[in-house]
Amino acid sequence: MWIEANPNPVNKLVDDCVIRALSIILDRDWLSVYDELTDIGRAIYEPEISNNVWPKLLKRNGFKRYILPDTCPDCYTVRRFCQEHQNGQYILATGAHVVAVIDGDYYDTWDSGDEVAIYYFTR
């Protein structure tokens, strides 16, 4: 089930889905996640929301990456993934969007349930 959530401290709807999702899944405030991502990005000369940056923060926190089939009918939408993963904490990535999943619910600023996930992280 979709749960509307926006940990952005001023409730902005900007290109910060990575920061929002990691803030939710790591149970940390938005700014501390942003700062750590910025530090990681600075070290490798990439933006904090780069696909080469944010997975490093998840790996530091014990998460591992798993690939999903992205060709339908075998693909996993965010909604289907949640229905089949009722326990645990996950970060789903669609290629253009990142969303937090906790115990079968997905937390996002909009209902991203129809987006096709291509990989996920869990610990």
Q: How many whole angstroms separate alpha carbon 112 and alpha carbon 40?
A: 27
Tens digits of residue pLDDT in 68-105 = 997 888 899 999 999 999 999 999 999 899 999 999 99
Domain ranges of the chain: 14-122
pLDDT at 71: 85
Band (pLDDT 50/70/90 cuts) for residue 54 is: very high
pLDDT at 118: 96
pLDDT at 90: 98
Tens digits of residue pLDDT in 8-48 = 999 998 899 999 999 999 999 999 999 999 999 999 999 99
Residues whose CB is less than 8 angstroms from the CB of residue 123 and which lie 6 or more positions away in sequence, other chains included: 61, 62, 63, 64, 89
